[in-house]
Amino acid sequence: MKSIARSRGADVKVVLDSMIWVSYCSLKDGYRHRLIERARVKRVRFFVSEYILNEVETALTEDLELSERFAAMARRAILRIAKPVDLTASSKSYVAGDQDDDAIVQTALKAKADYLVTADKEILKVRKVEDVEIITTQQWEDLLPLK
């Protein structure tokens, strides 16, 4: 795996799956929120797609029963951190367990990301697609330098 602090100085590109953003937007002093803030200091570049943003909004309003106003604010908060990428229709399938999860993987491919960070077991099973490594938050934390 590539260290987040690359010797050649290039920023590492990361796509976070929806549940990571949901945690970021609902648990301010939580593990994931602190991890993302730490990564921002380390100049990690985040990318997000409309698909992920919609899933985050749905989870906040329907699963966590938060207001639509808060979900809209969360979307804007994410977009202050992550650069949006457009997904084009693709017939290629990456996730055998649930092919509809392909949009998450496609986001990472479109962003030419180094890592896709997820807690979805079906997506984690894929492990690597082209140059994108699919890892857990714990693995991601291990890659982030402490200082």
Beta carbon nearer to other proteins, 118 or 143: 118
In the shown chain, the binding pattern of residues 47 to 76 toward other proteins, with x for contact by CB under 8 A and - for none, equals --------x--xx--xxx-x---x--x--x
Q: Which of residues 100-119 bind other proteins (CB under 8 A)?
A: 100-101, 119
- Residue 22: CB atoms within 10 A of its CB come to 22
Closest CB 60 distance from other proteins, rounded Å: 9
User: For residue 68, with 0-12 CB atoms within 10 Å meaning exposed, 13-18 middle and 19 or more buried, which class applies?
Assistant: exposed
- Which span sits near other proteins by CB under 8 A: 40-48, 84-92, 98-106, 108-116? 98-106
Spell out the residues 6+ positions from residue 17 whose beta carbon is closer than 8 angstroms to its own.
Answer: 52, 104, 116, 117, 118, 119, 120, 123
Interface residue with other proteins among 27, 54, 128, 138 (CB under 8 A) is: 27
Q: Cα separation of 116 and 64, whole Å?
A: 24
Closest CB 50 distance from other proteins, rounded Å: 16
Per the CB < 8 A criterion, the answer to whether 82 and 48 are in contact is: yes
The 8-class DSSP code of residue 81 comes to H
Sites of contact with other proteins (CB under 8 A): 18-19, 22-23, 25-32, 55, 58-59, 62-64, 66, 70, 73, 76-77, 80, 98, 100-101, 119-122
